[in-house]
Structures are given as structure tokens and as C-alpha cells.
């Protein structure tokens, strides 16, 4: 691994850290991996607002699934 | 990309790791969302995004610490080179953050169960919808409180659509259900707005104010409409007013169109909430915000028309008093406005309104016809002279002549031939009305237009040259029309038309009617310019003029005139000129002799009498009278001098009277000097100089007929003033003239006295001759009765008369010289100097004073 590659990785990490900080500040509730995935998606051209909608949707699914699980499990 | 989605689904929904069907379902759903149109609005710029994030942070955490931290982080992020779509990431985070994180809490409330996952509610996640809910809930506004209070009282605010309908009625000047026009009680009958007291509804004050504003347009509309209707029904409305009405009507039609559009907008708005349910109304309101009509919107729509209506109303107000050109003027007064809207509106209006004016102008300017049935043009015709033609005998003309000068006592057939004077026709047939002249034309151009039309009219009717005018008119029709927007072109056409018409009029006068010949003839005959003719006339006429006036007959006079013409150079003049020359007698009273009443006359007819009008002819006669007198005195003195000079040497041998004769010769020489100076002054200094000015003007051929008349008048006035030595002092104009006439009488008396003396001498010498003959023894004496008049006894009487008249003459002349020295006119003063050349009279006076 060349030094340039290493530089790039550290820079990416730093960026991710910064974004994560902002995310924390904004209280989005995303963990670091999810954030990284989302940023990757955005970088690949996904509309950010649509992505936000997706995240929300998935969260809601999760909650519903959990609730359903809880009631089923009871 | 699907990998990333998978991991996203796994990390957010852990259960999907086990449940493959769920995972697939979720991924499909996610793709569906991503491919949907959510959030495809616009890329916000990063500054704006940062701002909204900061605002969001401030809302959740008012201390400001987190904002500061965000700013730090943001600047660090922007420094990083890695990401290409930083702002998209930020946007993502912001969107996520601004959605409520109440999702976990929601699971505790079974009542708000999330919708089934198969049917996603995209609406819930749109940022538009999320905004209001994210804001902290505020207290109700005062307006809301008031509204609720009124509702509790049972008098809710009136729903807007009800009042809206009324307002649309108001805009058309019709009273509505809740708001009505009513005639107020004050004197001016002004409309005022009344809100009907309806127990069910209450109209709040802001709404009232708004309606008041809107109703102004309705009120103005009523006025304009009433004006148009009133004019429509009336007869005898001027053309300019008619076109004003037309323009107003088109404007009103525009206005109706607007109202119709507004009305359709209003009906598009929902009527559902008749029942007044609050929640339904609230929903409607949100929809109305996007489409329907509200009072405020109406106000904006109407704004433009408010101005226009005001302008129209002002015009209407002005039109009540103004008429024709004055109306155009009034409107033009508003055209000079800094506001482009008003200017444009006024210009449009003016363009329309001035059309009939320009039609009239065109007719007037190019054919000299006044077509103005409602007397709106700035040229007005005198109704009495409108149909007067040249050749018709008119009583007016006779009356004027008779009252003016009172010549023509003897012959009736002469005066009856007089017709309405050309000058009268020219000057009074058309009148210039300054108040009707549109301001955009300007007064100088107005005058030009006036003069042009007048000239054309004159050429046509008075000079019988209508062919030329008709040709001109046809030519001019190709030159395009006159209109308000082309003022420069208008001025150009006015200028050319003016020039052509004036030129033509000049040509007609000088070529066709030979005005110059007539002027020359007047100068030659009436002003005694032809010396040989005057001498001849004087010679042949002199003896008969000494007789009493009542023994003179006109046929004798004319015969004498005829022979004078034949025997002088005047016979070479054109017969047309000689034909007009006539000898007449003025009206005489008892005791007058032929000299007092004889006059030459020069007859002019149409259309020359426009320039040589009766007043001018009167002046010519006056001049002739004076000059004729001067001529007579000159002739008298000449013949007297001949007799004295010749006779004294040959046969008047009365030595004791030698000294007296010497004295007489001295006085006579003085008289001759006087009269020669006067004659030279009249002819050389006055008449010829004035004539030169006039002929200069004529050669230049500038100006119109008015200028010609003006110049001729000036020429004549100058001559009258100077020849008659008139002084400008009121009441004493003729002082000098009277003195000069006195001098003339003195000269005549003196001549008579010298004649007596001459006769005496003749008798005396004859007697002495007879005595000598008798001494020689030849009897030659013939005793006759007439010789007894000149006896030795009458000698002292004759001598005293001679001396008396001589002294009186000298005195008078001295007075005249003195008066002339202080005469305001320079030429007259020079006459004084010439009369007293070498200070003859001055030293004489000094001698007298010393003695």
C-alpha cells in the first residue's frame, strides 16, 4: 500500500468522522457504518432526500417488525 | 448500489438478516422510494443549507454551542478533499434530522399504528409537510381570538366569498346585499358606502377599509358610465366629445372583461362552506390560497384600473365645462406627466380624441373649408358673413361708408354699387379662438393654420380661383394624414401649406389682379406723383374751381379730368387704371367754393379692396386733399410771382410804390421758399421713402395677406402722419396742420391783396399814361366803371392788407418752425430745419424781441 493510498484512507476516515460528528450533532441516530453506507450511496448519485426517506422507512419497518415480534413472542 | 442498499437494510432492520423475504421486500421498497420523485426539487447551495441547519440547531438547542460546533465541523468537512457531493450528504443529514425522531415513541401508541408497509405514505415524509409540525406551536393570534369571540357572541365574521360577491357588484356600481351605495344627504349628492346591519354576520374593520378602497373604482365607474350614457342620448354633442365617449366606452368594455374574468375566478372558489363549518372553511382557505379570489387579490387586480378610472373620471369632469379644442387642451394638460402609466393612457386618449380635430384641420389647411358642425375648431366663422359673396350688394358696406367719410353726396348710383368690403370679409369672416387651440399645436402654428385656411378660402371664394385650391387639395391628400402622434410632421405640413397658400395669394394679387399697378396709380394720381398730370389738371380746372361749389357739375369735372389725362403723360397708363380714376365733389355746404369740395377718386373693387379698403381710401383722399391744396398754393404763388416779376419791369411805373413792391417780393420769396420746402418734403421725404419700404416688402413676397395689408396700412399711416404733420399728442394731433392751413389762407389772402395792388398800379399807370397822353394832346382815357375800384383812396387800404397778411404769414411760419423743432417725428423736425435754413426765423424772432 503506497503512502498516497494511506493518505486517501485517512482522509476518508477523517471525513467520515466529521460527518458522523455532524450527524451526532443533528441527532440523526445513525451509527457510523450506516452513515458510511449512506454517504457511499449519495456519492454514487442517490438523491439525498429520497435516501432520507428510505432510512426513515426502514426505521419504521424495524419498529413495526419489532412490535410485531414482541406481540408474537408474548 | 444494491449491495449498499442491502447493508443499509441489514444495519437498520436487523431482523432482515434472518428473514430473506422481508429483506427482499424491503430492498424493493427502498428502490421504489429512491426511484420516486421525492426530493427532486432543486440542489440547494451549501450556504443556504448550512443556514437552515443552524436554524434547526438553534431551535433544538438554544444555547448556540452546538451551532458553533457545527460551523467548525462544516469548515473541516469542506476542507476534506474526498467527497464529491458534500452538500448532498449534508442535505441528507439535515432531512433526516428535521424529521421527528418520534418513531420509536410511536410504537408505544397503538392508536397511531403506522400504515401498512405495502402502501407507503410519501406525503408524511415530504419536507413541505414536515416543516409546520416541526415548528413549536405558538399561541393563537389576536385576530383568531377576536374571531372566536365574535363566533361565541353569535355574530361570526362574514365569510369572504359572500362579501366578495358584493364587492364585484360594487365594482359595477351596483349595490350588493351586505354593502350598498346610498345617496348621502349633503348637497353634492355624493354616493357613500353603507354596510347593512346583518345580525348574523359582522364585517370586521380591515375588511371594511378594503371594501372602501375597492368601491372607489365602482363609484368612478358609475360616473364615467353615466357621462357616456348621457352623451349618447343627447343631440348636438361635439365630435370631439363623441370620440371621447367612444374611447371611454372601449375602456369600459375592457373593464367589463376584467370583471367577467374575476367573476369566473370567484365561482371557481368553493361554495361548500355555506354552513359555516370552521374546519371545512379552514381547509378551503388553504386551497383558496392557491387558486381562488380574495378581497386582497381583487385589490391587486383592480389597482391598475383604479388609476385608469381616476383619469377617466377627471376627463369626464373636465368635459362638462370644456368643449371642442378646449377639451383636447384639457386632456393634453395631463399628458405631461412623469408617470409613464398616466402618460401612456393620456396619449392614447388624446390620439383618439383628437382625430376629429385633425380631420377638421386637414380640411381647413388644405382646402380652406371649415367643416365644423359643432364649432369645436379654433377657427370660428362669423355667421353673418359666412355666405356672403363678393358680388352681392350689401347694406352693411354702404352704411359703413356713409358713416365713415360721408363722401358721395351727389351721386347715388355710386354708393349702391359698393359691396361688403373685401377687408371686412377677410378680417371678420373667420375668427381665431385662442381658448380652443390645442396646446400641442402652439400659438404661432395656430396662427399659421388660421392664416393658411383663410388664404385658401379667400383664393377660392373671393378670387374665384377654386380650381387651383381643388388641385392643391387633391395633391395634399396623398401626403398622409395628420395625427397627434406625429407633431413634427404636422408642423412641417403646416409650414409648407402656409407657404404655398401665402405665395399663391400673393401671386393672385399681383399677377391676376395687378395690385402693384393700382398702388402705383394711387401714388401717381391721388398723391400727385405725376407732376405733369397734376399741373395740367390744376391749370384746366383752376378757373372753374374758384366758383361756388353749387355751380360745379360733375360732367364738367370729368371732362376736364379726361382732357388732363389726355394731355399729360398719364395717357400711357393702362386703360384699366384710367377707367377707375374719377373726379368728384365732396358733400358741400353753403358758401364753399370748388377748391374745397373737389376731389379725385380711385375706384377699387373686389378683391383688391381687401388691401385697399374704404378706410385706406379715405386716407388716400385725405392725403390728396392736402396735397392738392399745397399744389394750388404753389400754382397760385407761381403765377403771382410771374406777374409781379414780369409786370413790374414792363409797365408798372408807379415809382412811389417801388418800395412796397420790393417788400411784396421779399414776402413772396419767403412764401415760395416755404411752399417749395413743403412740397419737396411731402414728395421726396415722405411719399417716396414710404413707397420704397412698401416695394421692398412686395418684392420679398414674404408673409401672408395679413402681412400685406399690414404693410400697406403702415405705408399709408406713415404718409398720413408725416404729410399732415400729425403729432402723437392726444387732442392736439392737428394743431400743426391747422397752422399750415392758416398759412395757406394767408398766402391766398396775400395773393389777393397783391392782385389788388397790381390792378391798382395798372390803373394808376394807365391813368398816368393817359395824363401824359393828354399833355401831349392825345386823348386815350377810357372811363370805365371798374377802374373806379382802384382809386387813390383805396390805396392805403390795399397796402395795409398786403402788409398785414405778409406779417401774419411770417408770424405763422415762425410758429410752425418753432413747433416743428420740438416735433417727435424726426422727418418733421428736419422740415422745420429746412424751413428755417440759416436760422432765418430765429434771427427774425430775436430782432422782434429786441424791438
The reported pLDDT for the residue numbered B99 is 65
Please indicate, yes or no, whether residues B814 and B834 belong to a single structural domain of this protein.
Answer: yes
Beta-strand runs (E) in B96-161: none
What is the mean pLDDT of the segment spanning A4-21?
83
Considering the domain architecture, whether residues B796 and B664 belong to the same structural domain is answered as yes
Q: Does A17 touch chain B (CB under 8 A)?
A: no
- Closest CB to A63: pick one of B40, B103, B127: B103
What's the mean pLDDT when you consider all of chain A? 79
Residue pLDDT, tens place only, B705-719: 788 888 889 999 999
Q: What gap in Å lies between CA B639 and CA B645, rounded to an integer?
A: 10
Residues B471 and B524 in one domain: no
Residues B789 and B655 reside in one and the same domain: yes
Choose the final residue of a domain: B116, B134, B164. B116
pLDDT tens-digit readout, B541-574: 888 888 888 788 888 888 888 888 888 887 888 8
Least confident piece of the model among B122-136, B154-168, B454-468: B122-136
Helices B239-268 + B295-321 axis angle, to 10: 170
- Closest partner residue to A33 (CB to CB) among B11, B103, B106 is B11
The one-character DSSP state at B593 is B
- On whether residue B269 sits in a domain, the answer given is yes
- B504 with B359, same domain? yes
**Ramachandran angles phi, psi of B405, nearest 5°:** -115, -30
Residue B731: HSE in the Cβ half-sphere, 13 Å Cα cutoff: 0
Q: Can you say how many angstroms the Cα of residue B97 is from the centroid of all Cα atoms in its chain?
A: 79
Whether residues B80 and A18 touch (CB distance < 8 A) is answered with yes
Nearest chain A residue to B26, by CA: A58
- Same structural domain, B104 and B153: no
Judged against a pLDDT cut of 80, whether residue B665 lies above it is answered with: yes
Q: What HEC string does B822-848 produce? A: CCCCHHHHHHHHHHCHHHHHHHHHHHH
SS3 for chain A is: CCHHHHHHHHHHHHHHHHHHHHHHHCCCCCCHHHHHHHHHHHHCCCCHHHHHHHHHHHHHHHHHHHHHHHHHHC
Query: What pLDDT does B475 receive?
Result: 63
Domain end among B477, B512, B547: B512
Which structural domain range is residue B54 located in?
2-116
- Return the ∠ at Cα B119 (arms to B113 and B122), rounded to 5°: 90
Which of B579, B612, B645 is at the close of a domain?
B612
Q: Which three cell numbers stand for residue B831?
A: 422740415
Residue B244 is placed in which grid cell?
371621447
Phi, psi of B602 (to 5 degrees): -125, 120
Mean residue pLDDT across chain B: 76
| Residue A36 at interface with chain B, using a CB cutoff of 8 Å | no
Q: Could you tell me if A33 lies within 8 Å of chain B, comparing CB atoms?
A: yes
Chain B CB contacts of A29 under 8 Å are 101
Label residues B528-548 b or e (16+ Cβ within 10 Å = b): bbbeebbbbbbeebbeebeee
Asked if B252 contacts B221 with a C-beta cutoff of 8 angstroms, the reply is yes
Residue with the three cell numbers 380574495: B294
Q: What is the per-residue pLDDT for B37?
A: 67
Q: What are B277-286's pLDDT values in tens digits? A: 444 445 555 5
B577 shares a domain with B438: no
pLDDT reading at B532 higher than 80: yes
- Confidence band for B115, pLDDT divided at 50, 70 and 90: very low
The pLDDT assigned to B406 comes to: 36
| Tens of pLDDT, residues B205-236 | 788 888 888 888 888 888 888 888 888 877 77
Each residue's pLDDT tens digit, B228-250? 888 887 777 778 888 888 888 88
pLDDT at B692: 92
| Residue where the block lists cell 435754413 | B837
* Assigned domain for B469 exists: yes
Cβ of B103 within 8 Å of Cβ of A30? The answer is no
The answer on pLDDT for B287 being more than 60 is: no
| Nearest Cβ partner for A56 among B82, B91, B125 | B125
Output DSSP code: residue B586: -
Find the CATH number of the domain harbouring B562: 1.20.120.1900
B93 touches chain A (CB under 8 A): yes
Rounded CA separation B756/B798 (Å): 7
Q: Taking a C-beta distance cutoff of 8 angstroms, is the pair B829, B821 a contact? A: yes
State residue B129's pLDDT score. Answer: 40
What nine digits make up the cell of B724?
Answer: 399732415
Is the residue at B572 inside a domain? yes
Classify residue B679: in a domain, yes or no: yes
- Given this model, what pLDDT does residue B336 score? 78
DSSP code per residue over B615-648: HHHHHHHHHHHHHHHHHHHHHHHHHHHHHHHHHH
> For B318-345, how does the pLDDT look when each residue is reduced to its tens digit (9 = 90+)?
877 777 777 777 778 777 778 888 888 8
Angstrom distance (rounded) from CA A9 to CA A15: 10
Residue B26, domain member (yes or no): yes
Contact A26 B8 (CB under 8 A): no
Is the pLDDT score of B123 beyond 80? no
* Residues B766-781, mean pLDDT to the nearest whole number: 79
Cell numbers found for residue B243: 370620440
**Same domain for B444 and B405:** no
* Chosen from B63, B93, B130, B131 to mutate, greatest number of chain A CBs within 10 A: B93
Is residue B135 over pLDDT 60? Answer: no
CA distance B20 to chain A (A): 14
CB of A9 within 8 Å of a chain B CB? The answer is no
B92/A49 CB distance under 8 A: yes
Looking at the domain assignment, is residue B735 inside a domain? yes
Nearest CB to A61; choose among B13, B70, B85: B13
DSSP secondary structure string, B387-409? Answer: T--SSSB-HHHHHHHHHHT----
Q: How many domains does chain B have?
A: 5
Q: Report how far residue B835's alpha carbon sits from residue B725's, in angstroms, rounded to the nearest whole number.
A: 14
Look at residue B755 and tell me whether its pLDDT is greater than 80: yes
b/e per residue B73-112 (b: at least 16 CB within 10 A): bbeebeebebbebbbbbbbbbbbbbbbeeebeebbeeeee
Are B192 and B279 members of one domain? yes
Q: B82, B85, B106, B113: best mutation site toward chain A, by most A Cβ within 10 Å?
A: B82
Say if residue B168 is in the same domain as residue B27: no
Lowest mean pLDDT of B116-125, B550-559, B680-689, name the range. B116-125
Contact B501, B509 (CB under 8 A): no
User: Would residue B809 count as lying in a domain?
Assistant: yes
How many residues in total does chain A contain? 74
What is the CA angle B186-B187-B192, rounded to 5? 45
- The reply to whether residue A18 touches residue B40, judged by beta carbons under 8 angstroms, is no
Domain identity same for B58 and B166? no
* Residues 38-77 (B) with a CB less than 8 A from some CB of A: 38-41, 53, 56-57, 60, 66, 69-70, 73-74, 76-77
DSSP string, B292-318: S--HHHHHHHHHHHHHHHHHHHHHHHH
Q: Is residue B374 part of a domain?
A: yes
- Based on the fold, state whether residues B731 and B665 are members of the same structural domain: yes
Q: For the whole model, what pTM was predicted? A: 0.60
Sort strands B379-381 and B430-432 into parallel, antiparallel or unpaired.
Answer: antiparallel
Amino acid at each position: 500500500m503506497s503512502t498516497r493510498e494511506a493518505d486517501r484512507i485517512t482522509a476518508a476516515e477523517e471525513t467520515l468522522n466529521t460527518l458522523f460528528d455532524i450527524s451526532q450533532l443533528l441527532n440523526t441516530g445513525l451509527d457510523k457504518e450506516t452513515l458510511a453506507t449512506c454517504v457511499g450511496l449519495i456519492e454514487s448519485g442517490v438523491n439525498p432526500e429520497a435516501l432520507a426517506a428510505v432510512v426513515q422507512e426502514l426505521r419504521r419497518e424495524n419498529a413495526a417488525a419489532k412490535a410485531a415480534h414482541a406481540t408474537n413472542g408474548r | 448500489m444494491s449491495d449498499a442498499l442491502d447493508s443499509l437494510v441489514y444495519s437498520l432492520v436487523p431482523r432482515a438478516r434472518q428473514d430473506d423475504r422481508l429483506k427482499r421486500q424491503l430492498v424493493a421498497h427502498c428502490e421504489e422510494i429512491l426511484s420516486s420523485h421525492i426530493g427532486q426539487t432543486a440542489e440547494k447551495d451549501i450556504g443556504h443549507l448550512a443556514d437552515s441547519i443552524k436554524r434547526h440547531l438553534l431551535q433544538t438547542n438554544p444555547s448556540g454551542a452546538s451551532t458553533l460546533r457545527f460551523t467548525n465541523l462544516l469548515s473541516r468537512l469542506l476542507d476534506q478533499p474526498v467527497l464529491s457531493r458534500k452538500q448532498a450528504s449534508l442535505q441528507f443529514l439535515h432531512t433526516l434530522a428535521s424529521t421527528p425522531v418520534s418513531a420509536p415513541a410511536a410504537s408505544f401508541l397503538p392508536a397511531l399504528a403506522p400504515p401498512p408497509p405495502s402502501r407507503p405514505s410519501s406525503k408524511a415524509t415530504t419536507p413541505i409537510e414536515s416543516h409546520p409540525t416541526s415548528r413549536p406551536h405558538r399561541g393563537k393570534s389576536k385576530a383568531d381570538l377576536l374571531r372566536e369571540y365574535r363566533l361565541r357572541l353569535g355574530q361570526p365574521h362574514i365569510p369572504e366569498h359572500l362579501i366578495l360577491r358584493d364587492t364585484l357588484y360594487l365594482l359595477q356600481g351596483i349595490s350588493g346585499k351586505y354593502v350598498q351605495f346610498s345617496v348621502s344627504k349633503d348637497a353634492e349628492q355624493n354616493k357613500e358606502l353603507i354596510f347593512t346591519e346583518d345580525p348574523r354576520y359582522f364585517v370586521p374593520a380591515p375588511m371594511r377599509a378594503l371594501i372602501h378602497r375597492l368601491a372607489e373604482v365602482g363609484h368612478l365607474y358609475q360616473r364615467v358610465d353615466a357621462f357616456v350614457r348621457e352623451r349618447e342620448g343627447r343631440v348636438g354633442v361635439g365630435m370631439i366629445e363623441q370620440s371621447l365617449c367612444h374611447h371611454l366606452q372601449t375602456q369600459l368594455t375592457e373593464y367589463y372583461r376584467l370583471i367577467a374574468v374575476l367573476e369566473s375566478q370567484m365561482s371557481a372558489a368553493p361554495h361548500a362552506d355555506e354552513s359555516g363549518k370552521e374546519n371545512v372553511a379552514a381547509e378551503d382557505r388553504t386551497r383558496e390560497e392557491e387558486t381562488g379570489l380574495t378581497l386582497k387579490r381583487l385589490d391587486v387586480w383592480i389597482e391598475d384600473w383604479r388609476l385608469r378610472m381616476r383619469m377617466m373620471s377627471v376627463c369626464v369632469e373636465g368635459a362638462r365645462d370644456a368643449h371642442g379644442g378646449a377639451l383636447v387642451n384639457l386632456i393634453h394638460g395631463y399628458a405631461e406627466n412623469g408617470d409613464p402609466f398616466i402618460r401612456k393612457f393620456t396619449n392614447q386618449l388624446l390620439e383618439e380624441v383628437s382625430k376629429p380635430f385633425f380631420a377638421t384641420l386637414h380640411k381647413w389647411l388644405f382646402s380652406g373649408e371649415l367643416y365644423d358642425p359643432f364649432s369645436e375648431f379654433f377657427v370660428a366663422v362669423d355667421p353673418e358673413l359666412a355666405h356672403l359673396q363678393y358680388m352681392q350688394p350689401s347694406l352693411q358696406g354702404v352704411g359703413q361708408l356713409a358713416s365713415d367719410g360721408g363722401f358721395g353726396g351727389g351721386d347715388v348710383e355710386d354708393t349702391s354699387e359698393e359691396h361688403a368690403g373685401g377687408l371686412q370679409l377677410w378680417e371678420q369672416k373667420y375668427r381665431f379662438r385662442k381658448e380652443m387651440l390645442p396646446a400641442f399645436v402652439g400659438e404661432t402654428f395656430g396662427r399659421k393654420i388660421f392664416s393658411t385656411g383663410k388664404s385658401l378660402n379667400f383664393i377660392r371664394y373671393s378670387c374665384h380661383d377654386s380650381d387651383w385650391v381643388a388641385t392643391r387639395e387633391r395633391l395634399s391628400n396623398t401626403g398622409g394624414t395628420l395625427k397627434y402622434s406625429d407633431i413634427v410632421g404636422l408642423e412641417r405640413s403646416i409650414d409648407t401649406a402656409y407657404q404655398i397658400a401665402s405665395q399663391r395669394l400673393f401671386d393672385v394679387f399681383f399677377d391676376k389682379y395687378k395690385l402693384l399697378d393700382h398702388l402705383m396709380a394711387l401714388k401717381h394720381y391721388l398723391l400727385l406723383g405725376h407732376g405733369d398730370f397734376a399741373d395740367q389738371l390744376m391749370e384746366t380746372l383752376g378757373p372753374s374751381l374758384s366758383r361756388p361749389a353749387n355751380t360745379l357739375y360733375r360732367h364738367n369735372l370729368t371732362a376736364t379730368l379726361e382732357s388732363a389725362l389726355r394731355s399729360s403723360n398719364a395717357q400711357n397708363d393702362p386703360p384699366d387704371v384710367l377707367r377707375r380714376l374719377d373726379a368728384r365733389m365732396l358733400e358741400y355746404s353753403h358758401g364753399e367754393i370748388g377748391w374745397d369740395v373737389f376731389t379725385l377718386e380711385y375706384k377699387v373693387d373686389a378683391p383688391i379692396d381687401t388691401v385697399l379698403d374704404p378706410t385706406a381710401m379715405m386716407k388716400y383722399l385725405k392725403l390728396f386733399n392736402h396735397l392738392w391744396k399745397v399744389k394750388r398754393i404753389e400754382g397760385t404763388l407761381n403765377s403771382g410771382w410771374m406777374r409781379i416779376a414780369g409786370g413790374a419791369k414792363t409797365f408798372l411805373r408807379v415809382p412811389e410804390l417801388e418800395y412796397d413792391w420790393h417788400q411784396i417780393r421779399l414776402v413772396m420769396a419767403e412764401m415760395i421758399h416755404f411752399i417749395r420746402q413743403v412740397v419737396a418734403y411731402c414728395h421726396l421725404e415722405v411719399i417716396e421713402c414710404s413707397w420704397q419700404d412698401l416695394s421692398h416688402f412686395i418684392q420679398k413676397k414674404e408673409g401672408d395677406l395679413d402681412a400685406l395689408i399690414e404693410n400697406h396700412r403702415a405705408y399709408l399711416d406713415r404718409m398720413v402722419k408725416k404729410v399732415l404733420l400729425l403729432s402723437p399728442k392726444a387732442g392736439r394731433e392737428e394743431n400743426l396742420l391747422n397752422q399750415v392751413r392758416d398759412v395757406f389762407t394767408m398766402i391766398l389772402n396775400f395773393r389777393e391783396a397783391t392782385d389788388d395792388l397790381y390792378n391798382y398800379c395798372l390803373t394808376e399807370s394807365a391813368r398816368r399814361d393817359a395824363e401824359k397822353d393828354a399833355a401831349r394832346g392825345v386823348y386815350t382815357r377810357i372811363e370805365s366803371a371798374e377802374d373806379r375800384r382802384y382809386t387813390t383812396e383805396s390805396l392805403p387800404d390795399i397796402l395795409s392788407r398786403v402788409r398785414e397778411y405778409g406779417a401774419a404769414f411770417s408770424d405763422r411760419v415762425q410758429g410752425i418752425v418753432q413747433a416743428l423743432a420740438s416735433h417727435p417725428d424726426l422727418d418733421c423736425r428736419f422740415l422745420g430745419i429746412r424751413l428755417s435754413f440759416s436760422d432765418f426765423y430765429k434771427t427774425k424772432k430775436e430782432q422782434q424781441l429786441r424791438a
